[in-house]
Structure 1
Amino acid sequence: EKALASLEDADFGLCFASGSAATTAVLNLLHAGDEVLTTMDVYGGTYRLFKSIYARYGIRFHFLNTNNTQQIIDHINEKTRMIWIESPTNPLLNILDIKKLAEAKSENVLLVVDNTFATPYFQRPITLGADIIVHSTTKYLGGHSDVVGGALLTNSKDVYDACKFYQNAAGAVPSPFDCFLIQRGLKTLEVRMIMHEKNATAMANFLQQHTAVEQVFYPGLGSHPNHRIASEQMTGYSGMVSFRLKDGLSACNRFFEKIKVFTLAESLGGVESLACYPFTMTHGAIPDAEKEKIGITKNLIRLSVGIESVEDLLADLDQALK
């Protein structure tokens, strides 16, 4: 907990048995009648917790279909108690202006940033004004696809005390061995993230030029609509790349059948490269009509780019797209 807090420039840290457990601890700060602003483009498990669990307790969630920070600010009202964002988002890699949100909200509104995709190596939301950071430590912080965990970081003693009570009372604690595995992962975080970003940039540039590809989502590309914001609040763009194929579902099926270095799997952030189909995998809990509306389409593929040889990865993409 101290190590993670130090990495995020936070005063307090708490570790949990999963990322969803960390999310639950934060949501338990809310009460009936409170309102939360978030975006449609969030991790499917977070959406499920919001929509299917906590909405039953009288908490109202506003899912905004936007990557425009000002539109979120415009929806803040006297009942708003929390703004929950991912930046970059999952799976469309949208970027929101964390500092602008922090400056626009009042003190009684908590700004929560899921920093799983960026990691503290590339982005430290508390230095930009966020109140709470959450992580799925299963992903980049663990880094080897062999542990499940979550974390919460904050500068607020009140938030820490309340979430610490929940952590203990609900038994949402990780095992000592899980903590050891995450500590081990932190020792190589820098060298891994450098390679993840280097390889992801190569994949994004390759895909952007490929005739089978309709659109590429990567904040490191100059064509990304919020590339400027990303370059201001991040020191790098991490290892996630998403793209759409022109020939739709049939092309996606062929791609998944042909990949050899990439593996079809739902997780991310490990040293090995993974390919995922968000429509039925990570975001399967979201109704189909809503998925299409927010851009999680049937021709969308998400890549977690690992640290293998970049030549091997590019060759695998090339042959799978033919």
Structure 2
Amino acid sequence: MGTAPFALVMLLLAAAPSAPEQLSSQEPQPMAEESFQTLLLEGTLAELEHGCVEAAAFGLSDRQQQLRDRLLSFNTTSQTMDEVLTNARVLLICRSPDGARTVLSRYLPGFGAERERWLRLSWQAADAALDHPRAARALRRLVNGDLMALEQLELVEAPDASAEPGEPITVNGLDQLAHHEAAAGDRLAAAEVLLSGRTTGAVAARRLGLAAELLEEADLDRADQLLELALDQAAADEAWGLAVDLLRVQLRLQLAAGGDGERPRQRLERLTARLDDQYSSWQLQGGGEPGPSLRSPREPGGHADVGEPTDAPTP
């Protein structure tokens, strides 16, 4: 008697599709409306964050807005510092930088690490909202106006629920301050920030080149001098792709000022010719995978790919 039921069970199991097969044949679905309403009423911050990610994945804009509204009303009177920061971070994930700023304004941070965490998130919210003056103020407050300290800071951009999972996007504090000052319309302040950097090589060359472009209307002679310094830094780091880009900027500025641009044009022609010659030589030799110095000037990473430094013989 005991064997018959067991055999029957085995037959049923053999006939039924396995659980993974059942799941793989079904398209992913968002949570049911009843469950979503329960989430709005009873969910924790972590659960609300999951709801934001799911709503973004399925393009449910109405649910996203309902989640934003709920997050703004979450424990408005008794939040700790950690709860405030978590609440604001989840609002950023829900694409509500203004909401994140509102939540942050409910808490006055103290000093030290607490203040730094609050200001970093304040910058994230302002940056995501494209509120450049507020973002610049947050960065200056973060280092108490010490630009050299800002150069050492790595910042993490605000999370986005719709982005693919991966490593957080980090940016340099000094470069970000210059970006925000320029976007806010203060080109001279942005140039001053870039020129305060102490890094050498390709990073310095890029900053000097940007500062030159920011100063071209106010002081063309100084802009040209900065480009010469930038070219020296690019050459020292053998960043020839960047050097090509800088020479193009110098040529454009000199022509705009009524000059003939002969010197940057000659240097540009000489450098690009040598870069092209090196790539052609590699092709004739039937080499293997080209290194950074041998990429085609018309391919990503080649010297024609603006902003991507490559190596080549000194012109």
Q: Which has the higher helix share?
A: 2
Q: Which has the higher strand share?
A: 1
Larger Cα-atom Rg: 2
Instruction: Judge same fold: TM > 0.5, yes or no.
Output: no
TM-score (norm 1): 0.23
